[in-house]
């Protein structure tokens, strides 16, 4: 059987930019075996402090290369160059936080003692699970990867990394940095793969002890199905249809600026981007006008131009999906109120560009309010009161993040208590904080990354019940 060649197509030109050989079935079968041997050696020969030092050095190496990494991201996934360096910096900060937090969970502090009883000692320790398979997406690849990779390594596991074919160099850069930092060979292995059949083979391997997947709901269901014929934990970080509710007491100009950024940054290609906006009727018209003002000053264009704020979406297929959502909304009565903007009408040639689009008069009969769009669209719906807003926010199969925008923090906090989402914000959006649990409700996933709880999926509990020998 011949090995496939994977080609990365530039979203901004639709020309090939990177090619990588796939993995043969024979090579794929050996990866978990090699990983198991590396795991046993690594987990038994290193202490947590030693693993922390390796992580620290690896993050420092990545930091020194951040300009190169940023250019690779812009080329491969199309985010403007003015922003890609920030992903590297944020990934390093996130990794540094988890490295600092590790002793509280994985060290002596993390041992749970049982009730005191003469002649007995009882306690619970955390031990690494073994070989962790991490399958991760292209839209924020460094941020997504550190969520799982750092705690997995700190816990003493070996990892197999499967990147998106859209951003293949990410795993190469990360694996190289960790090897240079002193991580033993084969503790991190990676493979390039575009075949679901091949991926199913490694998911079903009994030598893979835990699976982390970040991507679409359809992709997550496929991974879960492939793993369903054996006992293995699967962590899923999936999509979102994240709502924002703008109450009538806000500074409308400020709220419009924040909402637009939360909705269309990275061309809207974030699982926690704002995809639905509910606005109190008392400020609805003025809010729409302010959003128009904000959008009129945005610049879409070549992602390598430092002035560009919005680049292309990832593929022709993604562009078609976004445009189909917009067309469905307009067909069902919504109005495109996107302001005039010269850069919205004159895109660079050949790329997958979609203008940031403001839709008003939307309803939940439109797919733009129910299905994940993953593009630069801002659908705005008028609501009469807080109760209606919360009801609509919860009217979704997704539950990743949600936000309420208000001067009245006490009332806003009461509202978010009733919102069905794993992370809720007041006066902020689109920010996974490393000290909080990142977890999806409903079809947005299961399992936790980040915070002290983010270590738990990479360890298993072992109870020790020790009785003194009778005298």
Is 237 a residue of the active site?
A: yes
Catalytic residue among 237, 258, 290, 456: 237
Is 212 a residue of the active site?
A: no
Catalytic residue among 72, 75, 193, 271: 271
**229 C-beta neighbours (distance < 10 Å), count:** 9
Which residues are known to be catalytic? 237, 271
């Amino acid at each position: 059987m011949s090995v496939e060649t994977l080609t990365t197509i530039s979203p901004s030109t639709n020309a090939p930019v990177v090619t990588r050989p796939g993995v043969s079935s024979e090579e794929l079968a050996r990866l978990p075996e090699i990983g198991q041997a590396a795991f046993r050696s690594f987990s038994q020969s290193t202490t947590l402090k030693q693993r922390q030092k390796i992580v620290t050095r690896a993050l420092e190496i990545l930091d020194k290369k951040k300009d190169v990494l940023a250019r690779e991201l812009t080329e491969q996934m199309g985010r403007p160059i003015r922003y890609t360096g920030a992903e590297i910096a944020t990934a390093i900060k996130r990794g540094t936080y988890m490295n600092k937090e590790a002793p509280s969970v994985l060290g002596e502090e993390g041992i749970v003692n049982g009730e005191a009883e003469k002649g007995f000692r009882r306690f619970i320790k955390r031990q690494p699970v073994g070989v962790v398979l991490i399958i991760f997406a292209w839209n924020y690849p460094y941020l997504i990867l550190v969520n799982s990779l750092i705690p997995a390594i700190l816990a003493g596991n070996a990892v197999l990394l499967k990147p998106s074919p859209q951003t293949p160099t990410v795993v190469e850069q990360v694996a190289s940095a960790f090897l240079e930092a002193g991580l033993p060979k084969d503790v991190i292995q990676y493979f390039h793969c575009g075949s679901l059949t091949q991926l199913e083979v490694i998911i079903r391997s009994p030598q893979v002890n835990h699976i982390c997947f970040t991507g679409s709901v359809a992709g997550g269901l496929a991974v879960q199905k492939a793993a369903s014929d054996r006992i293995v934990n699967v962590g899923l970080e999936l999509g979102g249809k994240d709502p924002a509710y703008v109450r009538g007491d806000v500074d409308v100009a400020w709220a419009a600026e924040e909402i637009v950024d939360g909705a269309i940054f990275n061309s809207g290609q974030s699982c926690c981007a704002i995809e639905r906006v509910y606005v109190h009727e008392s400020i609805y018209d003025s809010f729409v006008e302010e959003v128009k003002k904000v959008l009129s000053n945005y610049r879409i264009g070549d992602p390598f131009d430092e002035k560009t704020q919005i680049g292309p979406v990832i593929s022709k297929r993604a562009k078609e999906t976004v445009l189909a959502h917009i067309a469905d909304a307009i067909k069902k009565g919504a109005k495109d109120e996107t302001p005039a903007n010269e850069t919205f009408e004159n895109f660079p040639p050949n790329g997958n560009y979609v203008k940031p689009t403001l839709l008003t008069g939307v309803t939940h009969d439109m797919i733009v309010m129910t299905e994940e769009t993953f593009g630069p669209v801002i659908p705005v719906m008028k609501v009469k009161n807080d109760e209606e807003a919360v009801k609509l926010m919860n009217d979704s199969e997704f539950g990743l993040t949600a936000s309420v925008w208000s001067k009245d923090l006490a009332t806003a906090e009461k509202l978010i208590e009733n919102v069905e989402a794993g992370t809720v914000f007041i006066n902020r959006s689109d920010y996974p904080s490393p000290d909080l649990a990142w977890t999806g409700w409903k079809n947005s996933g299961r399992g936790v990354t980040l915070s002290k709880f983010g270590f738990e999926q990479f360890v298993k509990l072992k109870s020790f019940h020790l009785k003194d020998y009778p005298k």
